[in-house]
Every structure is written in structure tokens, then in C-alpha cells.
Amino acid sequence: MDDLQSDNQTYPALNFLVRHGDWVAIVVAMVPVVVGGLAWSMGLSFIFGISGLAAGAFLYLMMRSFVELVRVIVDMLLPK
């Protein structure tokens, strides 16, 4: 039991991403969307809104890939 508990405390960032990675990806992807929308609503060009959407989609794809990579690494390399 001590080994399992120490493994969970040894890699807290990996364990956090395994558990909550889907939500982390959504939150990170929403940042440029919100900023682009705010810039557009404040009177700047609509290009800021479109750029925010494009950046959000790209960040979501990258974060989801990173979370899946972390899950594979944890599943294959860390002891159970």
C-alpha cells in the first residue's frame, strides 16, 4: 500500500492530467476564444474573433494530444 501511495505522490502533475486532462484542454482552448471575442466586442477588427477561434481550435487539438500522450506514458511506464 505504501508503494502505491508513494507513486501517486511522486508524479502529482501526471496524475492530475490523467484525471482532469479533458477539462484542462477545454479551459486552455477557451482562453484565446474569450480574448478574441472580447477584443472584437471592444471594437477591434472581426479578425481578432476569427483568430481567437482558430487559436482555440489549435490549442484544443494540441492539449488533447498532450493529455493522451501523458495517459499512454502513465499507463505503459509507471508501475501500477
Nearest to 55 by CA among 68, 37, 41: 37
- pTM listed for this prediction: 0.77
Predicted pLDDT at 32: 95
Q: Is 12 within the bounds of a domain?
A: no
Q: Is 4 within the bounds of a domain?
A: no
77 vs 10: CA distance, rounded Å: 14
Q: Is 7 within the bounds of a domain?
A: no
Q: Is 67 within the bounds of a domain?
A: yes
Predicted pLDDT at 80: 67
Predicted pLDDT at 1: 38
Asked if residue 36 lies in contact with residue 52, where contact means CB atoms within 8 angstroms, the answer is: yes
Domains of the chain: total:
1
Q: Is 32 within the bounds of a domain?
A: yes
Q: Is 41 within the bounds of a domain?
A: yes
80 vs 61 pLDDT, higher one: 61
> In the predicted model, what is the mean pLDDT of the chain?
87
Residue 31: CB atoms within 10 Å: 13
Q: Is 73 within the bounds of a domain?
A: yes
Its domain, for residue 58, covers 21-77
* DSSP secondary structure code for residue 4 in this structure: H
Question: Region 61-75: what's the mean pLDDT?
Answer: 93
